[in-house]
Amino acid sequence: MSSKAYFDEVAGDWSEMRKAFFSESIREKAFAVAGLEAGKTAADIGAGTGFISGGLVAAGMNVIAVDQSDAMLAELKKQLGPASAVDCRQGTAEALPIGDAQVDYVFANMYVHHVEKPPLALKEMTRILRPGGRLVTTDLDQHEFEFLRREQHDRWMGFKREDFKAWLEAAGLVNVNVESAGGNCCAASCETASPAAVSIFIASGEKPC
Ligand SMILES: C[S@@+](CC[C@H](N)C(=O)[O-])C[C@H]1O[C@@H](n2cnc3c(N)ncnc32)[C@H](O)[C@@H]1O
């Protein structure tokens, strides 16, 4: 099964599933690191059903939500309301459907460990940022829970923070920081009794002016 087929299949259940995986404090930390200013434009990449997008709308932002899965984006619209300030665009990591330097913030929660080429995905997210804009992504530290690849279509078993930092710098960002988000991503396995608990990091950087 492809990643898109997997996420199309779970789209209707995703909002419930994710509540078991991570808490809303992750989103609050991401927004605090970004220093949100109402009225600006933010992109939510790998948006799913709108965990990040919904918070951004509530904070008075204009939002562009991108996901490979049309089923996820349809759920997002259903849950946030068709009239919400979210512009949903189907697209993939390697060619985001947003022009150069169009947004003030880029967010991605639990997305990069699903893409084929993380450095390329981060470069693409940097491309759409305006000079002075901020990229903030929350993702998994490196772990050994192999079942997440089989059961949840993870492509990467988390990341080393130093690799992630180097990829953000190579993408052209400055003031790069990767630190603990202070929480875990928790997932039960169909195969084993012991659930996974993987620490989450928050990575950020600025596009130079
Ligand atoms: C684990 S979910 C996270 C969803 C959402 N960010 C959240 O926090 O609930 C990962 C999302 O990334 C999307 N995704 C995975 N690989 C992608 C790719 N290569 N291009 C675009 N979207 C992708 C999936 O369709 C899915 O909706």
**pLDDT tens across 63-116, in order?**
999 999 999 999 999 999 877 889 999 999 999 999 999 999 999 999 999 999
**Mean pLDDT of all residues belonging to the chain:** 94
Nearest CA-CA partner of 201 in 137, 135, 143, 153: 137
- Domain 3-206 carries which CATH code? 3.40.50.150
What is the per-residue pLDDT for 193? Answer: 60
Phi first, then psi: what are they for 125, rounded to 5°?
-65, -35
Closest C-alpha to ligand 1, atom 15: 114
What is the per-residue pLDDT for 192? Answer: 64
Atom of ligand 1 nearest to the CA of 22: 8
Question: How far does the centroid of ligand 1 lie from the alpha carbon of residue 131, in Å?
Answer: 25
**pLDDT tens across 150-183, in order?**
888 899 999 999 999 999 999 999 999 999 998 8
Q: Which of 29, 111, 139 to mutate to test the pocket of ligand 1 (most atoms within 8 A of CB)?
A: 111
Question: How far does the centroid of ligand 1 lie from the alpha carbon of residue 171, in Å?
Answer: 20
Domain borders along the chain are 3-206
> Does any ligand 1 atom lie closer than 6 A to the CB of residue 178?
no
Question: How far does the centroid of ligand 1 lie from the alpha carbon of residue 194, in Å?
Answer: 25
Whole-model pTM: value is 0.96
Say how far apart CA 145 and CA 126 lie, in whole Å: 30
> Does any ligand 1 atom lie closer than 6 A to the CB of residue 48?
yes
Question: How far does the centroid of ligand 1 lie from the alpha carbon of residue 114, in Å?
Answer: 7
Closest C-alpha to ligand 1, atom 20: 92
Beta-strand runs (E) in the chain? 41-45, 62-67, 86-90, 103-109, 129-140, 174-187, 196-206
Atom of ligand 1 nearest to the CA of 69: 25
Say how far apart CA 108 and CA 123 lie, in whole Å: 13
